[in-house]
């Protein structure tokens, strides 16, 4: 039996930094998924790529603070951060050092949308748990089979 596939390794080898869909497509191609596997797994691959992209951007954004966790940021670290880029909703990437107030505000709105999407998903999971627990079932599929 072969070793399990590490998604982060796949992303680092085949992903396109900042382009979630291109990364997902490249990874799906490398995995040589059948049509039915691609249909079943593509959304998960996209989500994984988006999560890794957001993590990379968060690390860069954290460097934008002159003080991090009460510790002054090394100026050379800050200089590197100023040339790093972040994506705007229209796909344009802007360097931290060149980003305008409006571009930062646009990025904040985009990130707030991500947070709101995550909170919506959390709410769906909470509702599913409540529905399963109320019915004394083990999963939502049990509720469907009971309704038949």
Domain that holds residue 107: 100-148
Encode pLDDT of 26-57 as tens digits.
Answer: 988 988 988 888 888 888 888 888 888 887 77
| pLDDT above 60 for 89 | yes
Shared domain check, 2 and 74: yes
Which of 5-9, 122-126, 142-146 has the largest mean confidence? 122-126
The answer to whether the CB of 141 falls within 8 A of the CB of 135 is no
Encode pLDDT of 117-130 as tens digits.
Answer: 889 999 999 999 99
Rounded percentage of the chain residues whose pLDDT exceeds 70: 84
Shared domain check, 112 and 40: no
| pLDDT above 70 for 74 | no
pLDDT at 107: 92
Shared domain check, 10 and 67: yes
List alpha helices for the chain, DSSP H. 7-14, 20-31, 35-63, 75-83, 101-135, 140-147
Task: Name residues whose C-beta falls within 8 Å of residue 10's C-beta, 6 or more positions apart in sequence.
Answer: 27, 30, 31
Shared domain check, 17 and 84: yes
Residue 93 has φ and ψ, to the nearest 5°, of -100, 140
- At residue 133's C-alpha, the angle toward residues 132 and 139, to 5°, is 30
Shared domain check, 111 and 62: no
Shared domain check, 109 and 66: no
The answer to whether the CB of 27 falls within 8 A of the CB of 15 is yes
**Considering the entire predicted model, what is its pTM?**
0.45
Rounded CA-CA distance 26/98 in Å is: 31
């Amino acid at each position: 039996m072969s070793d399990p596939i590490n998604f982060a390794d796949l992303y680092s080898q085949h992903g396109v930094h900042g382009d979630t869909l291109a990364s997902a497509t490249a990874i799906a191609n490398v995995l040589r998924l059948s049509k039915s596997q691609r249909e079943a797994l593509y959304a998960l691959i996209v989500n994984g790529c988006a999560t890794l992209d957001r993590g990379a951007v968060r690390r860069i954004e954290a460097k934008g603070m002159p003080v991090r966790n009460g510790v002054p940021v090394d100026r050379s670290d800050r200089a590197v951060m100023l040339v790093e880029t972040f994506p705007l909703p229209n796909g344009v990437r802007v360097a931290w050092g060149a980003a305008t107030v409006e571009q930062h505000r646009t990025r904040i709105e985009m990130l707030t949308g991500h947070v709101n999407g995550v909170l919506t998903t959390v709410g769906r999971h909470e509702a599913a748990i409540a529905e399963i627990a109320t019915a004394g079932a083990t999963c939502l599929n049990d509720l469907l089979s009971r309704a038949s």
